[in-house]
Amino acid sequence: WFLAWMGLEISTIAILPLMTQQHHPRAIEAATKYFLTQATAAAVILFASTANAWALGDWNISQTSHPLAVTIILLALALKIGLAPMHLWLPEVLQGLDLTTGLILSTWQKLAPFALIYQIAPHTNPTLLISLGVLSALVGGWGGLNQTQLRKLMAFSTIGHWGWVIIILHFSPSLALLNVVIYIAMTTAMFLSLKGMAATKINSLAMAWPKAPILTLLAMLCLLSLGGLPPLTGFMPKWLILQELMKQDLTVVAVTMAMSALLSLFFYLR
């Protein structure tokens, strides 16, 4: 756990220069917010893993079985990834960054906390994981509805997608991994096409069509795929996850997740 904590801290500190390379008050503010939330989460992880070692005499990640320690670590990692209800820093931070750094923040920076969650998921309370997942999917759907800023939209989309990943983690880890891989591919394509069009607001997309029709078409397909529209790739993990949830007799959860996907699809269509 000590090495995991150190790695998380190094990854936080390493992205700060990228965030602050534009000397703009918003970028500095975003970097400060990011640093504070990540350092807080890392400190909580160190505290909980120490408590676990104190109770059970074991620092090994795979042996973390003290219920309170596992719960605290899970919540701290959820804060690191930006799952609801610990998501409030994410839209603010993403809005202050340029699209390339935003892409790194939405994909690469989430892999380390996810790897740790993946390892402790078997010891965690499934109800907690399901609650985090459903709440994130709903927040990701509701939050994006009245946004005109593309980066904030992408931030809420990220929260929603990680909700889907977390909800299935206890029942089928391989499905969660599949979802992460597809999410990273789609988000990368989306951010890079927005960067190619130099678009940061929804209305700048409307003017992109005459300038770069093929890129705009690709961006539209990426958005629909992120929303999970059937013939596109983004539909596959959602479909498999809903199927798995139904097998686990979590019908209400599955219906809620499907509804939240409709919410996010609505703002992607816009």
* Structural domains in the chain (count): 1
Residue 92: per-residue pLDDT: 95
| pLDDT for 202 | 86
State residue 5's pLDDT score: 96
Per-residue model confidence (pLDDT) at position 270:
80
pLDDT of residue 246: 96
**pLDDT < 50 stretches in the chain:** none
In the chain, pLDDT over 70 holds for what percent of residues? 100
Cα 128 to Cα 2: distance, rounded to the nearest angstrom: 24
Rounded CA separation 212/195 (Å): 12
| pLDDT value, residue 65 | 87
What's phi and psi for 53, nearest 5 deg?
A: -65, -35
Residue 144, domain extent:
1-269
